[in-house]
Amino acid sequence: MNKVILIRYSEIHLKGNNRHYFLKLLRDNIKNALKKYNLSIEEIPSRYVIRNFDEKDVENVISDLKKVFGIFSISVADEVDSNVDTIIDFVKGISLEGSFKVHCKRADKKFPIKSLDFEAQLGAIILDNNKKAFVDVKNPDTLVNVDIRENGKSFIFYKFIYLAGGMPLGENRDGLLLLSGGIDSPVAGYMMAKRGLRQDILHFNSYPYTSPMAKDKVVELAKIIKPYIGCRYMYIVSMTQIQEQFHINCKEEYAITLLRRSMIKIAEILAEKYRYKTIITGESLGQVASQTIEGLTLTDNARKTTPILRPLIAFNKDEIISLAKQINTFETSILPYEDCCTVFLPKQPVIKPKLDIAINEEAKIDLPSFLQNAIQNMEIIQI
Ligand code: ATP
Ligand code: MG
């Protein structure tokens, strides 16, 4: 008898011809997430089986698996040969109290006893051996699962641990996540990673108006989300000169609109240079003045072709906070350092900005060369 971890995957079975590609991705991602443990991973039909781990590592292995997208659920199980007597012997050793039910799944149609009959037989054995146990098929305290697989092995377990599901993270870093130090953008990266989008990170600061500690905070956030989003590089671009130029030359109420448009313009230049296919932001409709439909439209209009994904667009703040807590970014996000969006903050930012006015304001300075200059001086760090 062996303790194993059974892994069931989520949407991959829908993938038809591409199934093998996604299964390989998932297996590679699982291997990568668990590389620090000395264990083995076997692929069997519809499952992965993790074996040969140290039992004291189980909780850590589970928590690392929670960061791998594409997994529907996992169970810690006992593995036995799919032989009637062997399974019966194992079930004789089960000790439990209270209500229970046996659930058999016979993926191996060559197994000689039908699921319902085997459930009754195993249930009777458990009743015989446990004087304080009784059967409740509707709402049992303990569900004894017997999963008889096609590979000649059966798995006996009591719990399903449900994970985030989604699609396995792709091989290429196709997304560029605009990561501020706030609560929303790390969650936005997580949400897109859940759909298989691997991302690198772009962060803007306004040093010396923003403190060097603000940068440390964002690096820390990047490290926390790395296991989810699979990032490798973080680009840090200074907005100081651009913001000063807007401040000196342009309408004060357009400061945030212009800043946000410049962020997107820089993101698109980097996307073209380093072959990112999409830009991700943590914007949410109506959350702040720059995130009205009109504000978002102007931000959208700042780019040429690169799509902007806004996975939090319809999320409430409390929903975002609860995800931030779940992925462990919340406590870091609320550390009190300035973001470049809070530098030169207008007293009354425009709520319904107009595109012609924004373009007119941008034309007051030599924006293309300031953008290029900011990119030439950017810092690239490995996460
Ligand atoms: P967050 O909590 O993610 O900071 P927010 O609600 O404070 O978001 P804004 O400050 O308007 O909203 O920013 C909207 C989005 O723009 C952010 O979610 C992020 O994707 C991007 N963004 C804002 N500031 C920065 C920055 N300093 N560096 C990189 N991206 C930024
Ligand atoms: Mg912010």
| 240 Cα–ligand 1 center, Å | 16
CB 108 within 8 A of CB 90: no
* pLDDT band, very low/low/confident/very high, at 32 (cuts 50, 70, 90): very high
pLDDT tier at 285, thresholds 50, 70, 90: very high
- Cα torsion 242, 244, 296, 166: sign: positive
Alpha-carbon distance 170 to 277, whole Å?
Answer: 13
Q: List the residue whose alpha carbon is closest to atom 23 of ligand 1.
A: 180
Q: How many CA atoms lie within 13 A of 239 on its CB side?
A: 29
> Whose alpha carbon is nearest atom 20 of ligand 1?
281
Give ion ligand 2 contacts, CB < 5 A.
180, 182, 339
Q: Note the CATH number of domain 2-162.
A: 3.30.2130.30
- In whole angstroms, give the CA distance from residue 350 to residue 254: 6
Q: Which fold has domain 173-382?
A: Rossmann fold (3.40.50)
Q: How would DSSP label each residue in 13-67?
A: GG-GGGHHHHHHHHHHHHHHHTTTS--EEEEETTEEEEES--GGGHHHHHHHHTT
Residue 278: which pLDDT band, with cuts at 50, 70 and 90? very high
The residues spanned by each domain of the chain are: 2-162, 173-382
Residue nearest to atom 31 of ligand 1 (CA): 180
Residue 311 has pLDDT above 80, yes or no: yes
| Best residue for ligand 1 mutational test, from 176, 179, 180, 242 (most atoms within 8 Å of Cβ) | 180
Q: For residues 260 and 251, what is the distance between their CA atoms, to the nearest angstrom?
A: 15
The pLDDT of 362-383, averaged and rounded, is 97
Distance 335 CA to ligand 1 centre (A): 15
pLDDT of residue 239: 96
Of 71, 81, 83, 79, nearest to 160 by C-alpha is 71
User: Tokens at residue 383, please?
Assistant: 């996460």
The CA distance from 254 to 356, in Å, is: 12
- pLDDT tier at 210 (50, 70, 90 boundaries)? confident
In which band, very low, low, confident or very high, does the pLDDT at 243 lie, cut at 50, 70 and 90? very high
AA letter at 97: E
For ligand 1, residues with CB inside 6 Å are 178-180, 182-185, 202-204, 281-283, 287-288, 290, 339-341
Which pLDDT band holds residue 232 (cuts at 50, 70, 90)?
Answer: very high
Measure 180 CA to ligand 2 centroid, in angstroms. 6
**Mean pLDDT, to the nearest integer, of 200-223?**
93
How far is CA 240 from each of CA 104, 164, 172, 340, 370, rounded to the nearest angstrom?
64, 39, 32, 8, 10
Most confident by average pLDDT, 203-212, 224-233, 281-290, 348-357: 224-233
Answer for the pair 355, 298: CB distance below 8 angstroms, yes or no.
yes
How far, in Å, CA of 26 to CA of 165, rounded? 11
pLDDT at 1: 54
- Looking at residue 108, its pLDDT comes to 93
Report which ligand 1 atom has the smallest distance to the Cα of 205. Answer: 27
Q: Which atom of ligand 1 is nearest to the CA of 260?
A: 16
Shortest-distance ligand to the CA of residue 207: 1
Confidence band, pLDDT 50/70/90 cuts, at residue 330: very high
Q: How far, rounded to the nearest angstrom, does the alpha carbon of residue 296 sit from its chain's CA centroid?
A: 24
Ligand 1 atom 7, closest CA: 182
pLDDT digits 0-9 by tens, 143-201: 999 999 999 999 999 999 999 999 999 999 999 999 999 999 999 999 999 999 999 99
Q: Distance from the CA of 282 to the center of ligand 1, in angstroms?
A: 6
pLDDT score recorded for residue 267: 98
What's the Cα-to-Cα distance from 205 to each of 30, 105, 201, 303, rounded to whole Å?
35, 56, 13, 20
Mean pLDDT of 309-321: 97
What is the distance between the alpha carbons of residues 23 and 15, in angstroms, rounded to a whole number?
Answer: 10
Ligand sitting nearest the alpha carbon of 339: 1
- 346 or 13, which is more confident? 346
Instruction: Sheet with 379-382: list strands edge to edge.
Output: 308-309, 278-280, 173-178, 198-205, 233-238, 379-382
Q: What is the atom index within ligand 1 of the atom nearest the CA of 183?
A: 2
Q: Which atom of ligand 1 is nearest to the CA of 284?
A: 6
Is the pLDDT reported for residue 13 higher than 90?
no
Does residue 241 sit in helix, strand or coil? helix
**Predicted confidence (pLDDT) at residue 104 exceeds the cutoff of 70:** yes
